[in-house]
Chain A
Amino acid sequence: MKFLDIAIKDLYQIFKDWKPAIFLLIAPIGFTLMFGFMFGGFKGPNDGDDERRYPVKLVDQNQTMLTETILSFLDRSEIIYVESVEGQTNLDELKQEVANEEVAAAIILPAGFTQTLQEQAKVNLNIILDKNTLAGMTVQQEIESNFQRVQTAANTARLAEQLFEESEGWRNDEERVLFFNNVFAEALDAWQTPSVIAVNRQTTPEGYEEASSENAFAQSLPGMMAQFAIAGLIGASEIIVQERKSGSLDRLRSTAVDKFSILSGHWLAMFVMIFIQFFILVIFGQLFLRLNFFGAPLATLAISIASCAFVASLGLLIGILAKVPEQTIVFSLIPMFIFSGLGGAWVPLELVGETVQRVSRFSPVSWIMKGFKDILLRGADLPQVIVPVLILLGFSVLFFLPAAVIFYKKRT
């Protein structure tokens, strides 16, 4: 039971100073909120909120009823937010605005657009955007999709106009234009209730609990939990170094305490410290971020325990390898950056190349992310997270063993 005394002593040393709380709790919460809100927060990207839509400038060099109809049609988009500009025609300025990322794209309805549409049913316009950016690509899809509908509406209006002309004829050109505009507007309106609509569902396999709805925090919270658990090792590992440098370890080893108790005591202290961090952050996520950790409490507990075991073993290795307290900072930050970066804590792994996805399997953080994301997004329960749990425990052993070997061999 001596290892318990050592663990309690370590925990007292860790928590008597409030500064570790910055890394353990305040920083992960702060960064979770920041990243989460950046990428949509509780809402999906298609909620119609102006703040969540890509800003697009529309330069209307026509100022006609027809272009106003198009503007109000584009305004229904859930992807782009269109701001109409009157009179601005300087192409270079517009290109500069897109280059400066002030707007995601600029649509130019050139002079004669209305006439071409009314007389030839042709959509003729220019779009300024950067096809090499994610924003540019998304906005291009949306604009082209919308103008495909505009094209259909123009075709429809033109056909109706021809049929009416053959049957009744026009009193004057104004009547013809008005008829075209009305049919065009009606055809665009019809797209509000298209004959085929998309229905979105997500995986909720048999035996799984009910999955959460779309929530950007399901990516950011597990990522920041994992990252700052490793960052939190800075203080905890330093205790081991200080103990060795101050001669306390020598004194301890001259007593009846065996090496394994010392080692396991330090490991346990780190495990408890990180577990408390995870516990508070899980509660925070459940209560304030609408993340359903408690939908699968056993799975959440299993992933948390396995994650904490891995982080504690890593901390033990860092504490044993570091010669001076300063080194614990470098030794903690380097794996933190590498494991977090490659593990998908910052960027979802679906967005990176296949090679990186394969390499990421060697990062324990990717398994922490997988476990928590499966629970939060796919409603996974204990049987479905058993693989990540076992792999994380494997990582724990992988880091613990060299720490133990070095500790046993090392002369203080």
Chain B
Amino acid sequence: MKTLSIAFKDMWRAFRSLFALAFMFGVPILMTLIFAFLFGGLGSSGEESEFVLPVTDVVIVNQDEGSQTVPDFSDGNSSFASLGDLFVATLQTDSFTDLMNISLNDERAARLAVDNQEAGMAIIIPPSFTNVLIGQSSQHAEILFYKDPTLTMGPQVIQSVVMRIIDGFSSSSLSIDTIFSVLDENGMELNQQQQIELFQEINENMSSDQEGGRGIITILPPETENGEQDQTNPLQFILRNIMAGMMIFFTFFTGTSAAETILQEEEDGTLARLFTTPTNSSTILNGKFLAGFMMIIVQVVLLLIFANLVFGIDWGPVAPLIFVSIGLVTLATNFGIFVISLVVNTKQSGIVFGAVLNFTGMLGMSSVFVIGTPVEESFKYLPLLVPQGWAMSAIRASWNGNTTQAVLFTMGMLVISILLFFVGNARFKKRFG
């Protein structure tokens, strides 16, 4: 019972401290709120979950002089004097309005608009655009993308879309060149009628491809282990990762802060006073350890429930979540015991808070910051160098429905916990025994 009394006393003190409350609940919730606000515009508000890129203002400069050989290009009911005009008309269709706001201007004005950050990008179509695409020029044409370098994603995606359209235009001349080259290698030559038929067929193929009449590319959504399709809203996806990362980051602060009270009580002289009572040192230390454990239970439970109720975060199946949470609580408590057992006084523990916890915490949750980037795979294992990384991997496996992985990571957390506890406990017992 004495162990419990000591634990409850420490908990009472902690929950009355503004500082402790801020770190346990305030900062994780504040961070998640900020991200919710930041990415509120990214996810759609309803059940639909399309990733929406910001619309970029694009100025197009069409310098295409067309071709004297082919004076007219038709697309459905419309006809255009050059492929440059056709290209501009294609970009101005409704298909691209959610990606870019298009305006037309001369080169000087377009560059100036980008320079003054009134537009994110200028696309400059060269004079030889049509001639090159219809094979009347052996030179390459260069389409210039003049960008605001402070923007990255929007212009990058637009360039990719634009180049796909141009690929479609290029495919005719590329096909013709390849066919002529192959036939020439085989000693064949096409008469005029055959050439006309070939051009017609290539153009038909091109139209058919653009209308999706040729190949079939089927996009399948990923699926979780329990058979549910992953239909997480992008905003929820971000918030869940941020909230989990922050929760893990700050549970380790709580664990260390709880263990630090041993040093604080030693410096204040209250620990020495406790040792003079008929309570043995093991009971006192166990009470201290238990306080940290219980505080982190409260912290984890409240944050999980709060995140679910307020942000609507779905933590996945309950059973693995409980198992992972137990692992997290145990690990964070014992990590605190371990690191504080290594320092001599509260001044040194400041270094633990400032450096050790910050760096291990950030490394542990680094996988959150690389989500959706090409280096995501590399950061899958790097965080496992620190205990926080094991906790992050376990909780992600849990909500992904990958129970096997969640259990394995949690077992790893428990093994690390036992090791940390043995070292930390032994050092404390030796010190105060």
| Residues of A near any B CB (own CB < 8 A) | 19, 22-23, 26-27, 30-31, 34-35, 37-39, 45, 51-55, 91-92, 95-96, 98-104, 121-138, 140-145, 147-149, 151-152, 155-156, 159-160, 163-164, 167-168, 182-183, 186-187, 190-191, 193-203, 205, 211, 214, 326-327, 329-330, 333-334, 337-338, 341-342, 347-348, 350-356, 359, 373-374, 377-378
Which residue of chain B lies nearest to A202 when distances are taken between CB atoms in the complex?
Answer: B149
Chain B's nearest CB lies how many Å from the CB of A312? 21
Which A residues touch B379, using CB under 8 A? 38
Assuming the A-B contacts A122-B215, A128-B222, A159-B202, are A194 and B167 also in contact, with contact meaning beta carbons closer than 8 angstroms in the complex? Answer: yes
B 53-92 to A, binary, CB cutoff 8 A, 1 in contact else 0: 1100000000000000000000000000000000000000
The answer, yes or no, to whether B30 is at the interface (CB within 8 Å) is yes
10 nearest A-B residue pairs (beta carbon): A353-B41, A123-B215, A95-B223, A341-B34, A98-B222, A134-B372, A99-B222, A205-B115, A152-B171, A202-B149
Contact A35 B177 (CB under 8 A): no
Contact A356 B214 (CB under 8 A): no
Which residue of chain A lies nearest to B54 when distances are taken between CB atoms in the complex?
Answer: A350
Assuming the A-B contacts A52-B375, A163-B194, are A34 and B362 also in contact, with contact meaning beta carbons closer than 8 angstroms in the complex? Answer: yes
Contact A202 B148 (CB under 8 A): yes
- Inter-chain CA distance A199–B19, complex, in Å, is 54
- Inter-chain CA distance A333–B28, complex, in Å, is 12
A selection of 12 A-B contacts at a CB cut-off of 8 Å is: A99-B222, A125-B218, A128-B220, A143-B217, A156-B174, A187-B178, A195-B141, A196-B132, A203-B149, A334-B22, A338-B30, A342-B34
- Inter-chain CA distance A284–B209, complex, in Å, is 53
- Inter-chain CA distance A186–B186, complex, in Å, is 14
Further contacts, 19 of them, CB under 8 A, given A124-B215, A136-B51:
A34-B369, A38-B373, A95-B220, A95-B222, A123-B217, A126-B218, A126-B220, A131-B219, A141-B160, A159-B175, A194-B167, A196-B143, A199-B144, A341-B35, A350-B153, A350-B154, A352-B39, A353-B39, A353-B40
Contact A125 B217 (CB under 8 A): yes
- Inter-chain CA distance A351–B155, complex, in Å, is 12
The answer, yes or no, to whether B237 is at the interface (CB within 8 Å) is yes
Contact B182 A100 (CB under 8 A): no
B 34-46 to A, binary, CB cutoff 8 A, 1 in contact else 0: 1101111110000
Which residue of chain B lies nearest to A143 when distances are taken between CB atoms in the complex?
Answer: B217
Assuming the A-B contacts A26-B355, A45-B374, A123-B216, are A187 and B167 also in contact, with contact meaning beta carbons closer than 8 angstroms in the complex? Answer: no
- Inter-chain CA distance A329–B141, complex, in Å, is 59
Contact B164 A144 (CB under 8 A): yes
The answer, yes or no, to whether B173 is at the interface (CB within 8 Å) is yes
- Inter-chain CA distance A202–B373, complex, in Å, is 23
Which residue of chain A lies nearest to B160 when distances are taken between CB atoms in the complex?
Answer: A141
Q: Which of B115, B232, B370, B374 contacts A132 (CB 8 A)?
A: B232
Contact B51 A200 (CB under 8 A): no
Which B residues touch A30, using CB under 8 A? 359, 362
Q: Which of A23, A92, A163, A196 contacts B140 (CB 8 A)?
A: A196
Chain B's nearest CB lies how many Å from the CB of A97? 8
Which residue of chain A lies nearest to B181 when distances are taken between CB atoms in the complex?
Answer: A186
Contact A374 B150 (CB under 8 A): yes
Which B residues touch A160, using CB under 8 A? 178-179, 182-183
- Inter-chain CA distance A23–B141, complex, in Å, is 52
Assuming the A-B contacts A195-B132, A201-B145, A330-B18, are A149 and B217 also in contact, with contact meaning beta carbons closer than 8 angstroms in the complex? Answer: no
Contact B174 A135 (CB under 8 A): no
Which B residues touch A348, using CB under 8 A? 150-153
Chain B's nearest CB lies how many Å from the CB of A149? 6
Which residue of chain B lies nearest to A107 when distances are taken between CB atoms in the complex?
Answer: B217
Q: Which of A31, A134, A196, A355 contacts B169 (CB 8 A)?
A: A196
Contact A149 B167 (CB under 8 A): yes
Assuming the A-B contacts A130-B230, A156-B178, A352-B38, are A135 and B30 also in contact, with contact meaning beta carbons closer than 8 angstroms in the complex? Answer: no
Which residue of chain B lies nearest to A145 when distances are taken between CB atoms in the complex?
Answer: B164
Which A residues touch B27, using CB under 8 A? 333, 337
The answer, yes or no, to whether B265 is at the interface (CB within 8 Å) is no
Assuming the A-B contacts A38-B373, A132-B237, are A330 and B164 also in contact, with contact meaning beta carbons closer than 8 angstroms in the complex? Answer: no
Chain A's nearest CB lies how many Å from the CB of B45? 11
Contact A187 B175 (CB under 8 A): yes
- Inter-chain CA distance A346–B95, complex, in Å, is 32
B 221-259 to A, binary, CB cutoff 8 A, 1 in contact else 0: 111110000101110010000000000000000000000
Contact A152 B351 (CB under 8 A): no
Contact B41 A352 (CB under 8 A): yes
Query: For window 377-400 of chain B, which residues contact chain A by CB distance below 8 Å?
Result: 377-380, 397, 400
Which residue of chain B lies nearest to A142 when distances are taken between CB atoms in the complex?
Answer: B160
Which residue of chain B lies nearest to A214 when distances are taken between CB atoms in the complex?
Answer: B149
The answer, yes or no, to whether B104 is at the interface (CB within 8 Å) is no
Which residue of chain A lies nearest to B112 when distances are taken between CB atoms in the complex?
Answer: A205
Which residue of chain A lies nearest to B21 when distances are taken between CB atoms in the complex?
Answer: A330
Contact B378 A51 (CB under 8 A): yes
Chain A's nearest CB lies how many Å from the CB of B227? 8
Which residue of chain A lies nearest to B221 when distances are taken between CB atoms in the complex?
Answer: A130
Which A residues touch B202, using CB under 8 A? 155, 159
Which residue of chain B lies nearest to A130 when distances are taken between CB atoms in the complex?
Answer: B222
Contact B222 A347 (CB under 8 A): no
Task: Name the residue among A134, A195, A341, A354 with the largest chain B CB count within 10 angstroms.
Answer: A195
Which B residues touch A104, using CB under 8 A? 374, 376
Contact B37 A196 (CB under 8 A): no
- Inter-chain CA distance A118–B22, complex, in Å, is 66
Contact A200 B145 (CB under 8 A): yes
Contact A132 B354 (CB under 8 A): no
The answer, yes or no, to whether B201 is at the interface (CB within 8 Å) is yes
- Inter-chain CA distance A168–B114, complex, in Å, is 57
Contact A186 B146 (CB under 8 A): no
- Inter-chain CA distance A98–B402, complex, in Å, is 12
